[in-house]
Amino acid sequence: MTESKTDVLVAIVGAGPGGLLLAAYLQKHLAPSLVPHVKVYETNYVRDTKSHGGSLDLHQDTGLYALKSVGLLNKFQEKKRDGGEEMRVIDAVSGGLLLKHEGNGHRPEIDRQDLRDILIDSLHPDTINFAHHLMSSESSPTGKSWTLTFRVRSFIKKTITAQILIGADGAWSRIRALLTPEKPIYSGVTFVDIQIPTSKLEEHPEIEQFVGRGIAFILSGNGRGLIPQRNGSGILRIYAALRVPEMWWDDNCPDDEEVTGKPQIKAWFEGFNPKVLALLDAADYQTVAYRKIYALPPDLTWSRPPIPVEGKGGIVVLLGDSAHVMSPFAGEGVNLALRDALELGKTLSAILTRSMDCSAVTDSMTPTLSENTSRYLNEGIAAYESLMFRRAKQAGVESAENIDICFDPDSPRTFVEKMRTLLPPDRLSFATVRWFGRTIWSEGWKWAEREGWW
């Protein structure tokens, strides 16, 4: 295996939305001489991959605020999906519509891949190192930096020395272990991801009429449900949700395409309304994937030494799912990751630019952190973490409550009650305005007659 070595100032492990936005912020706000020394390392071989999931709703004070801070809000507006905010709750047994919310424009939707494309395109071409699989991370011999070992495309061993290590590597972060031994815990719910292609939706317009243009929660009280969500590419992604033991999928669904075909999946939802089962009939079973939903404890924290101590490596910090992965039932995961990246970017850029002699840095010479700079960074990161922990705890508790309510024996009734307390008012639709106007006119006319105006 061929070997190579590189030194960097900042190594961001993971090219999800959080890691990419952090890189974008640093490129925009760091001293120009420091920018070439910020690198991103990503396991995937290419930027485009089907594994990046479905649609995301971005929130005003987190995701959208972060995009605005790096000048990408207009790019987002070009890619956002109209109608994606619509949400419905449907009784899985009766097929009846229990709740419909059209949205108010404050949580616009975008496909995850489109968001990544916007962020990747904003970076300098040599920022991201694809096909880098992290094998190990340990203190360097000096004890003041981190030595990262990557396997690159299976045949190159690459060693990176980083003074500031950012863990943006998701739910199963390998960087997290440098700060805490905690690992994600199974939530009790497994998703089976299937899709209805655009061609099938065109053949069956009644499907969109049933589930809407955004997301629908089709729930029963037996721990089963379907969550269809329209994607920007035109497909309808369906998350078949099952409250089952952690090893249920492994025990019941071996690696056999026939087992995860239409008959088997439909059998899991026996008793559902025919209109609901029609979604499964229209699905393409060539793209079946499963995902167990895991979460870290909402109150997870860790301590930080005053400065990096001898033999313990350099600066290390987490963001996004690496720090606080939670179930998707609060819609906060990507929003928290983007806000984390923004706040961490502010901390790093302010301290590095102010406390380093940036004029002496060249592209070929990696700058070295002084003890004072390391101390300032650790103090700043401790403040960043304090706020991050607070945001994550609130969202994590809400996420855990929502997933329980969603699959409660009294669901969908309990889920509808919870949603009514959380959802902001809809914008008035044309039909509502027309009805309101007609009512006012009619009642006003009757009042005028009673008062003898004519």
DSSP string, 282-324: H-EEEEEEEEEEEE--TT------SSPPTTS-SEEEE-THHHH
Cα(443)–Cα(436) distance, rounded to whole angstroms?
A: 11
Confidence bin at 424 (pLDDT 50/70/90): low
For residues 57 and 365, which has the higher predicted lDDT (pLDDT)?
Answer: 57
Q: Model's pTM, two decimal places? A: 0.89
Is residue 145 predicted with pLDDT exceeding 80? yes
Phi, psi of 115 (to 5 degrees): -65, -45
Is residue 219 predicted with pLDDT exceeding 90? yes
Cα(345)–Cα(218) distance, rounded to whole angstroms?
A: 40
- Tokens 């960043």 label which residue? 384
CATH number for the domain whose boundaries are 2-82+107-183+297-406: 3.50.50.60
Residues facing 13 on adjacent strands: 41, 167
Cα(419)–Cα(147) distance, rounded to whole angstroms?
A: 47
Beta strands in 62-169 (DSSP E): 87-91, 97-101, 109-111, 128-129, 132-139, 146-152, 156-167
Question: What are the residue boundaries of the structural domains of the chain, listed by start?
Answer: 2-82+107-183+297-406
Query: What is the pLDDT averaged over residues 6-11?
Result: 93
Cβ-contact 79, 63 below 8 angstroms: no
Cβ-contact 63, 107 below 8 angstroms: no
In the chain the first and final C-alpha atoms are separated, in Å, by 96
- What is the chain's length? 454
Q: Which of 50-59, 200-209, 307-316, 394-403 has the lowest mean pLDDT?
A: 307-316
Residue 452 gets the label, from left (phi > 0), alpha (psi -120 to 50) or beta, of left
Q: What is the mean pLDDT of the chain?
A: 87
pLDDT at residue 42, rounded to an integer: 96
Query: What is the pLDDT averaged over residues 244-248?
Result: 94
Query: What is the pLDDT averaged over residues 101-110?
Result: 81
pLDDT at residue 298, rounded to an integer: 97
Residues facing 101 on adjacent strands: 87
Crossing angle of helices 413-422 and 371-406, rounded to 10°: 140
Confidence bin at 54 (pLDDT 50/70/90): confident
Q: Residue 401: exposed, middle, or buried by beta-carbon count in 10 A (0-12, 13-18, 19+)? A: middle
Cα(106)–Cα(83) distance, rounded to whole angstroms?
A: 12
Cα(412)–Cα(305) distance, rounded to whole angstroms?
A: 47
Torsion of CA 385, 386, 388, 390, to 10 degrees: 160
Preceding peptide of 412 cis, ω within 30°: yes
Q: Which two tokens stand for residue 164?
A: 């500031």
Within 8 A by CB and 6+ apart from 107, the residues are: 57, 58, 59, 60, 85, 331
Cα angle vertex 33, ends 11, 35, to 5°? 35
pLDDT at residue 166, rounded to an integer: 98
Residue range 260-284, pLDDT digits in tens: 678 888 999 999 999 999 999 999 8
For residues 304 and 83, which has the higher predicted lDDT (pLDDT)?
Answer: 304
Is residue 441 predicted with pLDDT exceeding 50? no
Within 8 A by CB and 6+ apart from 415, the residues are: 89, 217, 219, 405, 406, 408
